[in-house]
Amino acid sequence: MVLSDKATIVLDTSVLLNFIRIDRMDLLQPLAVPLLVPEDVREEVSRPDQRKVLEAAISSGLLHVESIADRVEVALFADLARIGRFGPGERAVMAVALTRGMAAGLQERLAGAEMRRRDKAARIITTEDIVLRTIKAGGITVPDADGLLVEWRTHHRFASRIKTFEGMA
């Protein structure tokens, strides 16, 4: 299945926290696509300051929260739990994205590999992909986006393989 750049993105905790930690949830707005947060991901954001930012994004309509209720999603969530290497948020993102044909906002390579093992056409969207889309949408400049890479690397333990967005946009 080929998903357009307008496909709903189901966001995992790591991707959300990358934007929450730098106080730049606004960078998700120019994506102009539905952004879904499984309830399991919402529950993983436990620090009060980060939870406050997340809840504000939900209240504003930027993010939409849904629980896994469909029996196929529940079964896939349980099957992924048996593997033993994915947390509840990752399992929820994979279960929703795979069963509903949505893109998965995942940073964890093992989770992405598992999704592609189950569906070769699975669409994985990383933090860097979101920033690149935001650059293309005019929501941030390349120099400012490069500044985010430095901030994440030096202050937030997120070291991207990308060193600059120059020439990518």
Residue at 148 is within a domain: no
Indicate if the pLDDT at residue 28 is higher than 50.
Answer: yes
Residue at 20 is within a domain: yes
Total domain count, the chain? 1
Predicted confidence band of residue 24 (pLDDT cuts 50, 70, 90): very high
Q: Residues 6 or more apart from 128 whose CB is under 8 A from it?
A: 160, 161, 162
- Domain range holding 122? 9-141
Residue at 134 is within a domain: yes
Indicate if the pLDDT at residue 6 is higher than 80.
Answer: no
Residue at 1 is within a domain: no
- Note the residue count of the chain: 169
Residue at 102 is within a domain: yes
pLDDT tens-digit readout, 62-109: 999 999 989 999 999 999 999 989 999 999 999 999 999 999 999 999
pTM for this predicted structure? 0.91
Looking at every residue in the chain, the average pLDDT score rounds to: 92
Residue at 158 is within a domain: no
Domain harbouring 102, CATH code: 3.40.50.1010
